Every structure is written in C-alpha cells, then in structure tokens.
Amino acid sequence: MQILKKRILEDGVVIGDNILKVDNFLNHQIDVELLDEIGKEFHKRFGNVGLTKILTVEASGISVACATAREYKIPVLFAKKGNVSTQNEGNYSSKSFSFTKNEEYTMNVSKKYIGPQDTILIIDDFLANGLAIDALLEIVEQSGAKLAGIGIVIEKDFQAGGRKLREKGYHLESLARIASMGKNGIIFA
C-alpha cells in the first residue's frame, strides 16, 4: 500500500534494532484519512467472505479495526488486557507476551460477543513475533467461531510471526512489509 509506505518513510522512527514508532499517524496521533484508506484496503483484500465481526486487541489495534469494520458494516470486538485474577467463566481467555513492554498478559473476550455463529477477521497494527495474533487465534478457537483471515498494517518480515502464520496456511494480508530497518533506513520487502 503505497501511501502507507510513503508515510512510514516520512514519519516512522526506528528505535534500536527492531521497534518502529509510528506515533505521528497511527499509535498516538491518528491520521483518520489514512485510517479510512487502510480500512478500504483491507476490505478490498479480504472481500466479501461473510464476516460478522472484526477482532483485535486493545489499544492500538482498535482504530484500524474500526476503519475496517466501517467498510464491512459490522461490529468491532476488542480483547481486553488484564491479569489472571480478572478472568471469569464468562470470558474466553488466552495468555500473550508483549513485545514492546516485555511482559506477560492475559487477553479476555466476553462469551456474549463471540461464538460458533461468527466469522471473524483479526486485525492488528503490527506483526512481529506473532504472539499477540496467536493469543487472538486461541480465543477464536475457544469460541468455535470461523476465522476468515488476519489483517496487519505493518509486518516486520525480519521477525518470525508472519512466516509462521503463512506456513500454517492462514490468509494473512499485511499492508506494509518491512524487510529490514537500521543504518540503511527502512527497506520494504
């Protein structure tokens, strides 16, 4: 997606070896026109596959999920992050590990809002090692819902998440794939 790649080159800030900050347009300040284009692009790529809900995780996936859900005219469901003590029988729960915060956390989704009748598209802002997506996949599996695909705004190809998901046969669409970041700047795949 050219306008997204252009924006990453203009405004993305590389931290260390493997963190990309996009606080200028996605993760802090949000460019809603770009967000609209992202929603349209996901709609184009996944097409009409009978989706009933978009699933994401708080907080940074929510804006992108909403832009996509607007195109499909379906609700967004976001997993809430909490610790084990907040789990209860009314939730599907799975454990994940935060790449940016370096800590374990639990994702919770109410059983009221997802079930075998649903067809789900998972959306998130970044794909690195794939642990956030793995936890969302586990929730979809627990619920008995059908999974249509996984949409990612920025995939870092030099981390293993995307490869693992493709090997497992998931329909994964990433709007910008970064092959490397560092001294030579940001290089797209």
Residues that bind ligand 5GP (CB under 6 A): 19-21, 27, 60, 99-100, 124-132, 161
Rg over alpha carbons for the chain, rounded to the nearest Å, is 16
Instruction: Decide whether 48 or 131 has the Cβ nearer to ligand 5GP.
Output: 131
CB of 152 to ligand 5GP, least distance (A): 9
CB of 127 to ligand 5GP, least distance (A): 5
The answer to whether 117 and 137 have CB atoms below 8 angstroms apart is no
Instruction: Decide whether 37 or 134 has the Cβ nearer to ligand 5GP.
Output: 134
Question: One-letter amino acid identity for 48?
Answer: N
Instruction: Decide whether 27 or 119 has the Cβ nearer to ligand 5GP.
Output: 27
CB atoms within 10 A of CB 115: 12
CB of 33 to ligand 5GP, least distance (A): 20
φ, ψ dihedrals at 73, nearest 5°:
60, 45
CB of 131 to ligand 5GP, least distance (A): 4
Q: In DSSP terms, which residues pair with 77 in a beta bridge?
A: 55
Identify which of 154, 166, 167 has the alpha carbon closest to the alpha carbon of residue 128.
154
| Share of the chain residues as helix, strand and coil, in percent rounded to the nearest 5 | 30, 35, 30
Instruction: Decide whether 28 or 111 has the Cβ nearer to ligand 5GP.
Output: 28
CB of 117 to ligand 5GP, least distance (A): 27
Instruction: Decide whether 85 or 102 has the Cβ nearer to ligand 5GP.
Output: 102
